[in-house]
């Protein structure tokens, strides 16, 4: 097909059926093509009235309830033409049509599209909804984890809600709640003592510099226990603050490390430590991110 020639389903000379969309657009399709991918259409074609003797041959018309903007994305897949460029809205429309007409082969091709164009990074919530609608549980798990770790707990506006039940949304919120609980349990420090709960911090938490002023503010003026994590108290206060944020179930589980690092630099009371505070904070935050991601990966999304 040349660049100037119409697609076969847009050429009246190549079809034996008119597919008429809800907005009145007509596509001239081959019954065999639709019947091969859809048992629903196959049954419809079996019920089409045969021509009477002497009756002029005309293309039968099948009216569908979906608009042309949706069908124009489905028909190239039916005809095995060039893979169309699909937005998330397009993917939702395609999944809706393929479920209605039981086009399982076409529907399965949406898996690749959902994983493309960085959709999981830019809009994991919508990807989760569409993956659930399409039956792609593995993609739903990836998207739910990305939304939980990096996006504030606020349900965005999206037409993808139409494709799922309220139960699907509840499962996502419940998953986020359990992930937050796991993260809190992993990073909450109830003791300054180096033990099994705090050993993940031992290699990354910045130690006090040893100066008199730094020692005076270590542990907020408290007496340091034996075998302690000898560091300035504000590192623990930052962990406490993060635990409070996670407990509210509103913040993303992975904190904004640049924002936290700047705040820690401003709060440092030791003049000797301030010069290395930003670098120490970034190292600390990477370890924190790794720890939270590790425990969240062990939480299962239920279906």
Q: What is the DSSP letter of 190?
A: S
d(CA 257, CA 234): 16
Q: Is the pTM of this model over 0.85?
A: no
CATH class of 1-50+58-82: alpha beta
Q: Report, as an integer, the average pLDDT of 151-158.
A: 83
d(CA 146, CA 233): 31
DSSP 3-state of 26: strand
Q: Answer yes or no: is pLDDT of 62 > 90.
A: yes
Q: Report, as an integer, the average pLDDT of 139-153.
A: 91
Q: Answer yes or no: is pLDDT of 216 > 60.
A: no
Q: Report, as an integer, the average pLDDT of 157-165.
A: 92
What is the pLDDT, as a whole number, of residue 92?
97
Q: Which residues contact 196 (CB under 8 A, 6 or more apart)?
A: none
Percent of the chain with pLDDT over 90: 45
What is the pLDDT, as a whole number, of residue 290?
86
Question: pLDDT: is 76 or 193 the higher one?
Answer: 76
d(CA 247, CA 265): 25
Rg (CA), the chain: 29
What is the pLDDT, as a whole number, of residue 205?
66
Nearest by Cα to 151 from 240, 249, 247: 249
Q: Answer yes or no: is pLDDT of 298 > 50.
A: yes
Q: Answer yes or no: is pLDDT of 289 > 90.
A: no
pLDDT band for 242, please (50, 70, 90 cuts). confident
Q: Answer yes or no: is pLDDT of 250 > 70.
A: no
Q: Report, as an integer, the average pLDDT of 280-289.
A: 79
What is the pLDDT, as a whole number, of residue 153?
76
Bridge partners of 218, per DSSP, are 232
CA angle (150 as vertex; 95, 126 as ends), nearest 5: 15
Range with the largest mean pLDDT of 98-107, 146-155, 264-273: 98-107
Q: Report, as an integer, the average pLDDT of 126-134.
A: 97
- State the average pLDDT for the chain: 81
Q: Report, as an integer, the average pLDDT of 84-108.
A: 96
Question: pLDDT: is 207 or 22 the higher one?
Answer: 22
Q: How many CB atoms lie within 10 A of CB 263?
A: 15
Answer for the pair 148, 293: CB distance below 8 angstroms, yes or no: no
Residue whose pair of structure tokens reads 């984890």 in the numeric block: 145
Q: Report, as an integer, the average pLDDT of 23-44.
A: 95
Structure tokens at 162: 């139409």
Q: Which residues contact 67 (CB under 8 A, 6 or more apart)?
A: 21, 22, 23, 25
DSSP 3-state of 232: strand
Answer for the pair 163, 130: CB distance below 8 angstroms, yes or no: yes
What is the pLDDT, as a whole number, of residue 31?
94
d(CA 280, CA 287): 11
Q: Report, as an integer, the average pLDDT of 76-89.
A: 92
Q: Which residues contact 105 (CB under 8 A, 6 or more apart)?
A: 37
CATH 3.30.710.10 domain range(s) in the chain? 1-50+58-82
What is the pLDDT, as a whole number, of residue 208?
61
Answer for the pair 105, 80: CB distance below 8 angstroms, yes or no: no
Structure tokens at 11: 């050429």
pLDDT band for 166, please (50, 70, 90 cuts). very high
d(CA 242, CA 222): 22
Q: In this predicted structure, which of 14-23, 28-37, 269-278 has the lowest mean pLDDT?
A: 269-278
Structure tokens at 17: 């059926």
What is the pLDDT, as a whole number, of residue 103?
97
């Amino acid at each position: 097909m040349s660049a100037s020639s119409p697609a076969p389903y847009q050429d009246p000379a190549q079809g034996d059926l008119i597919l008429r969309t809800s907005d009145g657009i007509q596509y001239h399709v081959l019954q065999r093509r639709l019947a091969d991918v859809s048992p629903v259409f196959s049954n419809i074609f079996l019920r089409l009235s045969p021509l009477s003797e002497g009756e002029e041959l005309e293309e039968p018309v099948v009216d569908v309830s979906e608009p042309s903007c949706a069908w124009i994305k489905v028909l190239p897949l039916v005809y095995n033409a060039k893979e169309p460029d699909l937005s998330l809205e397009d993917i939702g429309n395609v999944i809706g049509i393929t479920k209605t007409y039981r086009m399982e082969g076409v529907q399965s091709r949406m898996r690749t599209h959902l994983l493309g164009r960085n959709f999981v990074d830019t809009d994991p919530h919508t990807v989760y909804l569409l993956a659930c609608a399409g039956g792609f549980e593995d993609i739903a798990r990836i998207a739910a984890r990305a939304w939980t770790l990096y996006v504030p707990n606020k349900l965005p506006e999206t037409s993808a809600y139409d494709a799922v039940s309220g139960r699907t949304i509840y499962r996502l919120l419940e998953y986020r709640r359990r992930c937050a609980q796991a993260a809190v349990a992993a990073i909450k420090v109830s003791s300054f003592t180096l033990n099994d709960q705090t050993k993940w911090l031992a290699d990354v938490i910045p130690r006090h510099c040893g100066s008199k002023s730094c020692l005076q503010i270590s542990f907020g003026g408290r007496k340091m226990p034996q075998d302690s994590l000898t560091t300035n108290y504000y590192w623990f206060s930052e962990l406490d603050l993060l635990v409070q944020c996670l407990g509210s179930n509103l913040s993303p589980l992975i904190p904004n490390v640049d924002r936290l690092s700047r705040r820690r630099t401003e709060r440092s009371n030791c003049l000797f430590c301030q010069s290395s505070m930003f670098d120490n904070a970034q190292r600390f935050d990477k370890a924190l991110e790794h720890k939270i991601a590790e425990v969240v990966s062990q939480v299962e999304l239920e279906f």
